[in-house]
C-alpha cells in the first residue's frame, strides 16, 4: 500500500513553535486568555480569546487569499470555526508566487480578520501553501543494497537512506530551477517529501523498520522551492505575527485532504488545482504521491483573453467570465466574441494539461479519476472540455477519465461549523490544515513502529 507522510522541520522545532503560542502570545501574566491587540482592524478591534487547539491555513492565491481557522478534535479531525476571504491586487502575485510582500500581507490581514471574528478566537500556528512553476515535485526510485541482509533494518540506517535520497533530489531540483531561471547559484529548500512505496527483496511493505533483507527499492516523493519564495512567505507571516508551522506544496496538500487520516488509503487519482495564475497537477497512485507539476495558465488567462477580445477592462472581463453560465448578463453583441476567446484559451490550457501529464514518467496507466478544485475549476467550459473531448487519447489512460468537482463534503475528517459554504475553491485550504495536523502529530500511532518511521521523514 502507498505510504503518505508530510515532511516538515524537526519535531523539536514544531513542539517549540506550539509552546511559543501558549507562552509568548499573551499580554500580561494576570489574564492569559486575552491576546495583545494586533494591527488588524485597529479602529474596531475587540480582544479575542486565544485557543491552544486551533490552527490556521493561509491559502495565498493569485486572485484571493483565504484564511481558514480550525479546531483539532480528539479523533484527529478538523472542525472549521472561522473563514475569511480577501481579493488580491493584480500586482501582488506573479505566476503563483508572491511579488509584493507588503501588498500580500495587507490582503492576508483582511482575510485573517474575517476568520478571527467568525471564530471568536485567534490562531497563531499557521501553515501556508506554495505554488508556481518553479516548485519542483518529483518521485525518484532509488535502489540501495545493504551489506548485511540478515540484520534488521534500523531507524538510523533508514534515516541515512532517506537523507541520501533527499540530497540527490535536491541537487536535481536545484539544477532544473537554475536552468529555467538562468541562475546557476539559485538556492532551494525542501518543502515536502513522502514515501510512495518500499520493497525489500521484491516484497512490498509499508514500514521497513525491523525487516531483514538485502535489496531495498524506495520510491520517494520530494518537492523543492526556490529560497526566495520561501523567504517571502516567512516575511508575510512575520508581519502578521504568525508562527509558521509549515509550508506545503498546494497540490500535495490537496492530496492530503483527499486521503484524510487514512495513510494506508488506496486512493488513486489526478488532482488539478486550478488557481488564478497556475494550474497545479498531482498524480496519486495507491495512496502515494507520484509527483506534482505546475504550468502557468489559470483563471486569469481566460479573463485577459476576454478583455482583449472585447476591448474591455480586466474587472469587466472578469464579471463577464463569471457570468458565462448566464448569457443574459453579457451584452448580446459580445457573446460570440467572448465564446471564441474562451474556446481559444481552453485549447491552450488543455495543451498545458496534456504536456504536463506527459511529463509524469509512470510505469503504469494514469488513474482514470480527475478531481478538480481551486477557483478556476468553477469555469463550466473547462469541466466540459475535459468531460467531452478526446484530449486524453494520446495519454496513457485506460479509458476516458471521470471528472469530479471536489467539494468540502468529499473531504474526510472535516466538519464545517460555520455558515460559509466551503466549495471547490476552499479545498486547498482544507488540505493545508491536514498538513498542519500531520506536522503536529507525526502519525496517528506515534508510539508504534510506524510512528517511529514517520519521524525519519522530518527535515
**CATH code, domain with 258:** 3.30.420.40
246: in domain: yes
Q: How many domains does the chain have?
A: 1
Distance CA 233, CA 458 (A): 20
Strongest mean pLDDT among 13-17, 104-108, 183-187, 324-328: 104-108
Q: How far is CA 215 from the centre of its chain?
A: 33
* Mean predicted lDDT score pLDDT of the chain: 81
pLDDT band at 10 (very low <50, low <70, confident <90, very high): very low
62: in domain: yes
Please choose, from the candidates 194, 195, 213, the residue with its C-alpha nearest in 3D space to the C-alpha of residue 203. 213
Read off the C-alpha cell for 399. 479509458
Q: DSSP labels for 224-283?
A: EEEHHHHHHHHHHHHHTT-EEEEEEEHHHHHHHHHHTT-TT----EEEEEE-SS-EEEEE
Strongest mean pLDDT among 126-130, 438-442, 454-458: 126-130
Distance CA 137, CA 130 (A): 12
- Contact 374/406 with Cβ under 8 angstroms? no
283: in domain: no
170: in domain: no
Distance CA 363, CA 425 (A): 32
Which residue is associated with the grid cell 482514470?
368
Q: What is the pairing mode between strands 269-274 and 279-285?
A: antiparallel
- Contact 215/96 with Cβ under 8 angstroms? no
pLDDT band at 231 (very low <50, low <70, confident <90, very high): very high
Note the pLDDT tens digit of each residue in 324-343.
Answer: 667 678 888 888 898 899 99
171: in domain: no
Orientation angle between helical segments 380-388 and 335-358, nearest 10 degrees: 60
Please report, for residues 248, 369, 395, the alpha-carbon distance to residue 392 in angstroms, rounded to integers and kept in the order given: 29, 12, 5
Distance CA 233, CA 131 (A): 11
Instruction: State which residues form the domain around 91.
Output: 11-133+227-263+429-436
What pLDDT is attached to residue 21?
A: 33
Is residue 67 scored above 50 in pLDDT? yes
340: in domain: no
420: in domain: no
Note the pLDDT tens digit of each residue in 14-28.
Answer: 333 333 333 333 333
5: in domain: no
Amino acid at each position: 500500500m502507498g505510504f503518505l507522510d508530510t515532511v516538515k522541520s524537526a519535531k523539536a522545532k514544531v513542539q517549540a513553535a506550539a509552546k511559543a503560542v501558549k507562552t509568548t502570545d499573551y499580554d500580561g501574566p494576570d489574564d492569559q486568555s486575552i491576546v495583545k491587540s494586533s494591527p488588524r482592524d485597529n479602529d474596531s478591534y475587540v480582544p479575542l480569546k486565544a485557543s491552544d487547539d486551533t490552527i490556521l491555513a493561509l491559502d495565498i492565491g493569485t486572485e484571493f487569499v483565504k484564511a481558514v481557522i480550525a479546531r483539532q478534535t480528539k479523533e484527529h479531525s478538523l472542525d472549521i470555526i472561522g473563514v475569511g476571504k480577501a481579493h488580491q491586487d493584480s500586482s501582488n502575485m506573479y505566476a503563483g508566487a508572491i511579488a509584493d510582500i507588503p501588498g500580500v500581507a495587507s490582503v492576508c490581514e483582511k482575510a485573517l480578520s474575517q476568520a478571527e471574528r467568525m471564530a471568536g478566537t485567534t490562531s497563531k500556528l499557521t501553515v501556508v501553501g506554495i505554488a508556481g512553476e518553479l516548485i519542483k515535485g518529483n518521485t525518484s526510485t532509488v535502489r540501495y543494497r545493504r551489506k548485511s541482509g540478515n540484520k534488521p533494518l534500523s531507524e538510523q540506517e533508514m534515516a541515512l537512506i532517506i537523507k541520501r535520497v533527499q540530497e540527490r533530489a535536491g541537487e536535481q531540483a536545484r539544477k532544473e530551477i537554475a536552468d529555467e531561471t538562468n541562475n546557476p547559484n539559485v538556492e532551494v529548500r525542501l518543502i515536502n517529501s513522502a514515501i510512495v512505496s518500499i520493497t525489500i527483496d521484491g516484497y512490498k511493505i509499508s514500514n521497513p523498520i525491523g525487516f531483514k533483507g538485502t535489496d531495498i527499492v524506495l520510491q520517494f516523493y520530494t518537492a523543492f522551492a526556490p529560497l526566495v519564495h520561501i523567504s517571502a512567505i516567512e516575511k508575510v507571516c512575520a508581519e502578521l505575527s504568525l508562527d509558521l508551522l509549515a509550508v506545503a506544496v498546494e497540490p500535495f496538500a490537496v492530496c492530503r485532504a483527499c486521503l484524510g487520516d487514512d495513510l494506508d488509503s488506496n486512493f488513486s487519482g489526478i488532482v488539478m488545482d486550478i488557481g488564478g495564475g497556475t494550474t497545479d497537477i498531482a498524480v496519486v497512485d495507491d495512496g502515494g504521491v507520484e509527483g506534482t507539476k505546475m504550468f502557468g495558465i489559470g483563471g486569469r488567462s481566460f479573463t485577459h483573453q476576454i478583455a482583449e477580445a472585447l476591448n474591455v477592462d480586466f474587472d469587466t472581463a472578469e464579471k463577464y467570465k463569471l457570468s458565462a453560465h448566464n448569457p443574459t448578463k453579457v451584452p448580446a453583441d459580445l457573446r460570440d466574441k467572448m465564446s471564441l476567446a474562451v474556446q481559444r484559451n481552453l485549447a491552450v490550457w488543455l495543451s498545458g494539461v496534456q504536456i504536463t501529464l506527459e511529463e509524469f514518467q509512470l510505469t503504469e496507466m494514469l488513474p482514470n479519476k480527475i478531481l478538480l478544485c481551486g477557483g478556476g475549476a468553477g469555469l463550466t467550459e473547462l469541466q466540459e472540455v475535459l468531460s467531452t473531448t478526446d484530449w486524453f487519447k494520446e495519454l496513457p489512460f485506460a479509458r476516458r477519465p471521470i471528472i469530479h468537482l471536489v467539494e468540502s463534503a468529499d473531504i474526510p475528517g472535516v466538519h464545517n461549523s460555520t455558515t460559509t459554504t466551503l466549495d471547490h475553491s476552499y479545498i486547498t485550504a482544507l488540505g493545508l490544515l491536514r498538513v498542519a495536523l500531520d506536522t503536529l502529530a507525526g502519525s496517528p500511532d506515534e508510539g508504534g513502529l510506524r510512528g517511529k518511521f514517520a519521524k525519519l521523514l522530518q527535515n
